[in-house]
């Protein structure tokens, strides 16, 4: 497949080098907003924090983002492909662009799914609650951009999903459940597109429940919520009740869902193995779920296509 030519923001790519596990750089970097993002007064693509000496392999954390972007990783082969918009974690203070971003995109590409890592806006020095509003705005815009560029990026505009890790899981959850109302005023033709994702994968989502353990009312799961795959661990300090209660709400709304709570593994692992845990088995479960939902062709169909 001939990859589309899109304006590259070279400064961003050199700012945050990929981790040793990332197979390649993005095919392109695309600004989410044509000028200032909603409510912003400056445009900063952020700075990479110092690597953590205790982390092997290291991860790249980018903070101070006020000009969000998409890192495009387009799948090879005939299309149109499904696309997943990846929201890395980082407590909204930074975005972990490789461990929970480009490494995930590489895996999706290996399945024949195109991906884009959403470098959404991080917290301002004096953030005003709720903290998920700016990531929600960026997420709605990202879904719309994917659809408006569907032909150019060789993707199916009816198979655009979201995937989030930790705080990015919270961001993906609000994007998945709050599509009925726009989170920002329309600025161009891109905003004529639907911002509802077609499916979602929430990986150890952060704080979807209140202090009583009930799903927060700002995550309004209903019959319009897309089918969702969820992963958590029992020993996660960010309670697995976030995933359990979200799944329960899917069940009540009669929306397709699948939940995996592993015995141990902690938090923030991405796809990396954890000693004495099998939580890194989740990609195989996710692949089967994606096939079940029609996001990937079934094994039988794939075999027939190759005959």
Q: How does residue 19 score in pLDDT terms, banded at 50, 70 and 90?
A: very low
What distances in angstroms separate CA 182 from CA 137, 171, 175, 278, one per listed residue?
A: 8, 15, 10, 39
Each residue's pLDDT tens digit, 86-128:
999 999 999 999 999 999 999 999 999 999 999 999 987 777 7
| pLDDT at residue 153 greater than cutoff 50 | yes
Q: How confident is the model at residue 73 (pLDDT cuts 50, 70, 90)?
A: very high
Per-residue pLDDT band at 2 (split at 50, 70, 90): very low
Q: What CATH number is given to the structural domain containing 247?
A: 3.40.50.1820
Q: Is residue 5 part of a domain?
A: no
In a domain, 114, yes or no: yes
Q: Has residue 276 got a pLDDT over 90?
A: yes
Pick the residue with more confidence: 2 or 44? Answer: 44
User: Which residues contact residue 217 at a Cβ distance below 8 angstroms, ignoring those fewer than 6 apart?
Assistant: none
pLDDT at res. 14: 33
H or E stretch including 225? none
Domain containing residue 31: 10-306
- Higher pLDDT: 274 or 6? It is 274
Give the model confidence (pLDDT) of 203-229 as tens digits: 999 999 999 999 999 999 999 999 999
Q: Has residue 216 been placed in a domain?
A: yes
Residues 27, 138, 63, 199: what is their CA dihedral angle, to the nearest 10 degrees? -70
* Residue 265 banded pLDDT, cuts 50, 70, 90: very high
- In tens, the pLDDT along 239-248 reads 999 999 999 9
Residue with tokens 């590489």: 106
Residue at 2 is within a domain: no
* The pLDDT of residue 60: 93
Tokens of 179: 């599509």
**Per-residue confidence at 10, pLDDT binned at 50, 70, 90?**
very low
- 232 touches 243 (CB < 8 A): yes
Tell which residue, 21, 55, 25, has the closest CA to residue 271.
21
Whether 129 maps to a domain, the answer reads yes
In a domain, 208, yes or no: yes
In a domain, 302, yes or no: yes
Confidence band for 298, pLDDT divided at 50, 70 and 90:
low
The structural domain count of the chain equals: 1
Q: Is residue 36 domain-resident? A: yes
């Amino acid at each position: 497949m001939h990859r589309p030519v899109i304006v590259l923001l070279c400064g961003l790519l050199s700012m945050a080098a990929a981790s040793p596990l990332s197979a390649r750089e993005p095919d392109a970097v695309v600004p989410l907003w044509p000028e200032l993002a909603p409510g912003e007064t400056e445009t900063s693509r952020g700075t990479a924090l110092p690597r953590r000496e205790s982390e092997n392999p290291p991860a790249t954390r980018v903070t101070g983002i006020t000009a969000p972007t998409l890192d495009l990783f387009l799948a090879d082969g005939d299309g149109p492909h499904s696309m997943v918009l990846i929201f890395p974690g980082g407590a909204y203070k930074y975005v972990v662009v490789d461990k929970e971003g480009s490494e995930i995109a590489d895996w999706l590409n290996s399945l024949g799914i195109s991906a884009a890592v959403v470098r959404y806006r991080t917290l301002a020095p004096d953030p005003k609650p709720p903290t998920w509003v700016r990531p929600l705005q960026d997420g709605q815009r990202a879904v719309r951009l994917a659809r408006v560029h569907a032909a150019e990026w060789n993707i199916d505009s009816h198979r655009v999903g979201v995937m989030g890790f930790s705080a990015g899981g919270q961001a993906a959850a609000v994007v998945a459940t709050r599509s009925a109302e726009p989170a920002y005023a329309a600025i161009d033709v891109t905003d004529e597109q639907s911002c509802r994702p077609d499916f979602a994968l929430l990986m150890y989502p952060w704080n979807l429940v209140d202090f009583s353990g009930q799903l927060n009312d700002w995550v309004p799961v209903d019959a319009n919520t897309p089918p969702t795959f969820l992963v958590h661990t029992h020993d996660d300090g960010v309670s697995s009740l976030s995933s359990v209660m979200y799944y329960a709400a899917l069940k009540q709304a009669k929306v397709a869902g699948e939940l995996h709570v592993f015995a141990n593994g902690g938090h923030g692992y991405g796809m990396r193995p954890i000693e004495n845990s099998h939580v890194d088995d989740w990609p195989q479960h996710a692949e089967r779920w994606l096939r079940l939902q029609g996001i990937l062709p079934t094994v039988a169909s794939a075999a027939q296509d190759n005959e």
